[in-house]
Amino acid sequence: MTNPVIISAALVGAELTRENTPYLPLTPDEIAAEALACYQAGAALVHLHGRAKDGSPTQDVNAYRDIIDAVQTRVPEIIIQVSTGGAVGMTAEERLQPLALQPEMASLTTGTVNFGEEVFYNDLPMVREFAKAMQARGIRPELEIFDSGMIPSAMRLLKEGLLSEPLHFNLVLGVPGGAAGTIKNLMFMIESLPAGSTWTTSGIGAAQLPLTTAAILLGGNLRVGLEDNIYYSRGVLSEGNAPLVARAARLANELGRPPATPAEARHILHLKTSPKI
Ligand code: KMH
Ligand code: ZN
């Protein structure tokens, strides 16, 4: 019996600029072209951030609509996950906007974390508000865990009835200020999750390749993409998102866990929604 691995592609993020990498997609058309290339390489899900016409990060609903429309026109079957993290410093109101578009999934960070020189702010009342908004709209949250204390916070929301089981986590390791990108930390977090949860992992920077490889071996799922890591190998920029997805798919195939199709990923993630075909 195969146990497919869901490959998520974090295509654009909020913090990167073309100065960081010339391969960063910014317009709806560029983001959609990357989504198609990633789908063809083995991705089942795209994690999206909004970008304004000048390339700056935005949670504006119209910017997201243009991006999602462009992605769904090219890849109707792919799972769309919007960010409610946005960029550091955005208000809760700003960050919540893309939920109005009824995406299948949205990210939900369950605590505050230092983020490089800045603070990614998520106090508990704010996290509750986000969880409630997702629950009211039937949008499946992916719980973004930047440090181990965010797991008990997610459990607290579950107890309060703001989340429902089975939970789905993204263990994001290697953000400067969050948990370090080590396999030991990954193991510790996996062991801390409630039974029956699904999980994926995002290794930041140089942690991407070891952690995503570990995820394949440990029976989880993985996220790659420029949002988390712009390099293909030490000092060599990845020429877009697809090479990172293609490498993860090759590794997954070699290790006996073929990449999940979007339909398989919907099943694994307990999504009740269907593709926009
Ligand atoms: N840009 C980071 C501050 C998410 O998408 O939910 C937050 C982030 C997490 O990227
Ligand atoms: Zn993100």
Q: How far is CA 234 from CA 3, 154, 207, 229, 242, in A?
A: 31, 35, 11, 11, 17
pLDDT value at residue 275: 72
Residue 49 CA: nearest ligand 1 atom is: 5
Question: Do 258 and 252 contact (CB within 8 A), yes or no?
Answer: yes
Q: Is 266 left (phi over 0), alpha (psi -120 to 50) or beta?
A: alpha
Q: Residues 53-91: pLDDT tens digits?
A: 999 999 999 999 999 999 999 999 999 999 999 999 999
Nearest atom of ligand 1 to the alpha carbon of 14: 1
What would the pLDDT profile of 19-51 be if each residue is shown by its tens digit?
A: 999 999 999 999 999 999 999 999 999 999 999
- Mean pLDDT in the chain? 97
* DSSP tally for the chain: helices H, then strands E: 9, 14
Residue 2: per-residue pLDDT: 83
Percent over 70 (pLDDT), the chain: 99
**Ligand with an atom nearest the CA of residue 172:** 1
- Residues 142-163 as b/e (b if ≥16 CB within 10 A, e otherwise) read bbbbbbeebbebbbebbeeebb
Higher-pLDDT residue of 274, 115: 115
Domain residue spans of the chain = 7-269
DSSP 178: B
Top pLDDT among 274 and 202 is at 202
Question: What's the one-letter identity of residue 141?
Answer: P
Amino acid identity for residue 230 in this structure: I
Superfamily of domain covering 7-269: Aldolase class I (3.20.20.70)
